[in-house]
Structure 1
Amino acid sequence: MLTTPGYCDKHLRSIRRQQDEHRGSAAARGYDARWRKARALYLSRHPLCAECRRQGRTVAASVVDHIRPHKGNRTIFWDERNWQALCKPCHDAKTAREDGGFGRPGKQPADR
């Protein structure tokens, strides 16, 4: 079964393991039990995707996004003014733009 174009489950796990070694696991980056609790509370208060709403669509949010990437800065990480609720497709598109999906260099958002 293919989960990502060109990669089977076995090799995708290997690639993700290599990425985690490079950037640290989710838990090492702060996405731990405290984050999961804060995320759930935020999504309960902000149930709709902010980007879809800007485009006139009503779509449930499933991801809490850091508007400005925190890059390990704990103050920015926990600042709720820097959070927005997004659906997974909007979050994935934003991440690809910022981080450079498919090997492209990313574009950093302007400071707010």
Structure 2
Amino acid sequence: MPYKPKRPCSHPGCPRLTEGRYCEEHAKEAASTYERNQRDPGTHKRYGSSWRKARKTFLEGHPFCELCRREGRLTRATVAHHITATRYGGTDDEENLMALCNRCHSALHGRQRDRWNVKR
């Protein structure tokens, strides 16, 4: 299957081509800027190193998207979704997690209308 052509890095003045938004060098810089200036401090506390370890372990044990599998497709899971959000008392236990691909995760939050503080 053909790949998408690479595009220029979004960092001003960087000539490198990349498959994502930023080249490898500038991706780390953009991520740290986001963590420092835009992300909610409470979210940062809930999703620290212990969460990253739990997420990695969960996705190793559940490699496919659960919603895609229900529709007869096998898609690699990239997100460990909390069924009950941690801000509402949910935990990082396996019973409260669901393996999803990015597409299903975005669609789920779009249906719930809770991801971007949209009023119902």
Equivalent residue letter for 2:109 = T
Moved over 6 A (4+): none
Q: 2:74 aligns with which of 58, 64, 69?
A: 58
Larger Rg: 2
Map of 2:27 onto structure 1: none
Map of 1:105 onto structure 2: 119
C-alpha distance after superposition, 1:24-67 (max 9, x if no partner): 35422x11111111100100000000010011110000000011
Query: Taking CA–CA contacts closer than 8 Å with sequence separation of 6 or more, which of the two structures ends up with the larger relative contact order?
Result: 1
Q: 2:93 aligns with which of 74, 79, 96?
A: 79
Question: For residues 63 and 81 of structure 1, what CA distance do their matches in structure 2 show?
Answer: 15
Query: Once the 2 structures are TM-superposed, how far is the Cα of residue 105 of structure 1 from its aligned partner?
Result: 2.7
Q: Report the count of equivalent residues.
A: 90
Map of 1:46 onto structure 2: 62
TM-score normalized by the length of structure 2: 0.60
For the residue of structure 2 that corresponds to 1:51, the secondary structure is helix
Question: For residues 101 and 31 of structure 1, what CA distance do their matches in structure 2 show?
Answer: 16
| Root-mean-square deviation (Å) | 2.7
Structure 1: any 5+ residue segments left out of the alignment?
4-12, 107-112
Same amino acid, percent of matched pairs: 34
Aligned in 2, Cα 1:47/1:72: closer, same or farther, shift over 3 Å? same
Question: For residues 32 and 60 of structure 1, what CA distance do their matches in structure 2 show?
Answer: 24
